[in-house]
A and B are shown apart, each in its own frame.
Chain A
Amino acid sequence: MTTTGYSTRGADPTTAPAFLAPLDGQSTAVLPVVAELRAQGRARFAAVGLPTIKNEAWRYTNLRDLAKLAVTTASGDAPIDRLPTVRADGQNGPRLVFVDGRFRADLSTADGLPDGVLLTDFASACQNHSGLIAEHLGRLASAEDRPLVALNSADLTDGVVLRVATGVSVDAPIELVFVSVGRDGATTASHPRALIVLEAGARAVLVEHHVSQGDNATLSNHVAEITVGEGATLHHCKAQRENAASFHLSHIAASVAAGGCYDNFILTIGARLSRNEVVSALNGGDARTHVSGGYMVRGNQHADISTIIDHAQPNGTSREVYKGVIDDSARAAFQGKIIVRPHAQKTDGHQLNRALLLSDSAEIDAKPELEIHADDVKCSHGCTAGELDDAALFYLRARGIDKETARGLLIGAFLSDVLDEIAEAPIREAFQGFVAGWLEEQR
């Protein structure tokens, strides 16, 4: 028996009321499918609450500090100083901006997209494309075994809807910008949902930015449901650079049809606590998925990467590469599961996680898992944790390079090859800039 989900044993229902938005705050004029999903999510989350470390899937990530908080909402109308982008200066392109989870039409544009592309906010899509919502909402991300998906559904108000029609290729990166501003003296929560549908043969490049403006504590609890059609390709890159007071939780559920490709890269730099769940299911033959990322944490930060690659059909290929740098008393967790179902012969799956520990109190928990039910497959995994190479450090210093610069060179070198996993050059360069910025702060 194979499961892709998590048990909800080890969850704490007493934490639920503090996180569920009051019912009277929600608009009642919604699509039946949305109302139903909210009600289900609400009931589910009320029954289970936040997961605890007794839940196997949450063994390495403790939400204790989050559970102590009572969250409220922010208006989302704060003025925004500047927006992050992967575009060179002066260029404009398609972009949706959310402030504290609320769509901001004044900062967003769908200009520059070819015919056949729908890029809009959730509320507009409910009004104008209700069929699309009814067809895809709640189909991939299950609230049943994931309390935070349930919470996202319960408080669902805003989000992203992207559909790329059959055969349409979008060259310009589509940027999704999530700015957390919050409120002084409170912790505010947002629960954005993304519905992304690439029809057969479509191609798109999606870049997510998650940043804070100011120092307020916020909780962002994202859920993305991604359908990659036959022969379609989605490049999906995300940079999370929220402030050190924030909680960032994210669940991405992707389903890839025959010959399709889902490519995901997540750069984790910010947040007090972050967890990125990526579930990529190859539900058609000859499908590919590539999930990768870099995480760099220090101070008391905690970063969690939890992935499931589900090979359900034959001839699938998956490649998974993560690299992390952990300093001070920071901690990281990597859970990587590869499932090969009985029918998925000729699967080729590879997974690698490498962590660099920069201090004696830095920690990594790594749990690779292969669950193979087919006999003709190639699968491998590797996890390593190491320190900076003393010999290399001395070699650089013996050439006059000061200790901090030498460390920076070696840490940058460690991370450089994982950034090469990003196929699109402008995005790779922008992300390299984010990493360089982090290294600078280190000094």
Chain B
Amino acid sequence: MIEIKNLHAKVDGKDILKGVDLTIRPGEVHAIMGPNGAGKSTLSYVLAGREGYEVTDGSVTYYGKDLLALEPEERAAEGVFLAFQYPVEIPGVANTTFLKTAINAMRKHRGEKELDAMQFLKILREKTKALGMSDDMLKRAVNVGFSGGEKKRNETLQMAILEPKFAILDETDSGLDIDALKIVAEGVNALRSPERSMLVITHYQRLLDYIVPDFVHVLAAGRIVKSGGKELALELEKNGYRDFGVDEAA
């Protein structure tokens, strides 16, 4: 279970999160919607442990542990996974090398035996096939020269390989056409399980047609201002964020 309590965070000296409360149980999919600047990406980076995001108050308890006290790699090893809005290009590091290093780092942390090249390739083939990814994408440097859709598929592949307990999907729909969105959503849906929680962060309702959440929350000006079921997303689609004191047309 993940319990976020009264979470406050600053970026570049500016208060962005101003008291976020959220509880996510195993198997649940929560969506966070909100206008630009509400603090959606800040929340995802704070949970993943990015430097420069200063928590000034509140707590995040992750299966009984103080998540905020852990290094980013420790959080990942504990099962936290952030699917990036803008996956980073890393020239000179082959995608397969990256994936193998990541999975073995996690296995080591969990006290499991590291995979040898053959075992790793077997898992990799299985997972890439399901996502319709080419061998070429694996040989190339991480995300270098990938299209928007390829980058998001690569994020989904990492999630499939690393099998997190808690996945945060930050604006997974951004930069995707409808076909790419469907492929990525299918990949994500295939990973839904009673043990795995997800936090889907999005500006638009469209994504939630494909990844249907159990709960929807509205984040505005650094706080969750409304929570409901999946029907709340449709309401937002119709009325926009005006009801929450935000006029995006302005």
Contacts and interface: CB of A to CB of B under 8 A. Distances in A.
Among A395, A400, A405, A406, chain B packs the most CB atoms within 10 A around the CB of A400
Interface string B141-182: 100000000000000001000100000000000000000000
A126 interface: no
Nearest to B84: A395
A413 B93 contact: yes
A402 B105 contact: yes
Nearest to A408: B101
A398 B72 contact: yes
Interface string A388-417: 011110111111111101100110111011
Contact of A400 (B89, B92, B105): B105
B92 A413 contact: yes
Interface string B91-110: 11100011001100110010
Interface in A266-301: none
A400 B76 contact: yes
A410 B101 CA distance: 13
Contacts of B224: none
Nearest to B88: A395
Contacts of B89: 392
Among A398, A406, A416, chain B packs the most CB atoms within 10 A around the CB of A398
A403 B77 CA distance: 13
B82 A409 contact: no
A402 B92 contact: no
Contact of A405 (B81, B92, B105): B105
B105 to A, nearest CB: 4
B217 to A, nearest CB: 23
Q: How large is the interface on B (under 10, 10 to 19, 20 to 34, 35 or more residues)?
A: 20 to 34
Interface in B56-98: 71-73, 75-77, 81-82, 84, 87-93, 97-98
Contacts of A392: 88-90
Contact of A397 (B73, B91, B158): B73
Q: How large is the interface on A (under 10, 10 to 19, 20 to 34, 35 or more residues)?
A: 20 to 34
Contacts, number: 79
Contact of B73 (A391, A400, A413, A414): A400
A405 B89 CA distance: 17
B111 to A, nearest CB: 14
Contacts of A402: 71, 73, 105
Contact of A395 (B51, B87, B91, B101): B87
Given A390-B51, A394-B51, A401 B90 contact: no
B48 interface: yes
Contacts of A401: 73, 101-102, 105
A159 B73 CA distance: 53
B129 interface: no
A390 B82 CA distance: 16
B50 interface: yes
A410 B72 CA distance: 17
A409 B101 CA distance: 10
Contacts of B73: 397-403, 406
A70 B214 CA distance: 79
Interface in A355-413: 389-392, 394-403, 405-406, 409-410, 412-413
Given A390-B51, A409-B101, A399 B76 contact: yes
A394 B50 contact: yes
B116 to A, nearest CB: 18
Nearest to A406: B73
Contacts of B77: 400
A400 B102 contact: yes
A437 B172 CA distance: 39
Contacts of A395: 84, 87-88, 90
Contacts of B50: 394, 398
B72 A394 contact: yes
12 contacts: A389-B90, A390-B51, A391-B88, A394-B51, A395-B84, A395-B87, A397-B76, A398-B48, A399-B76, A400-B109, A405-B101, A413-B91
The 4 closest A-B pairs by CB, nearest first: A413-B92, A400-B76, A399-B102, A397-B72
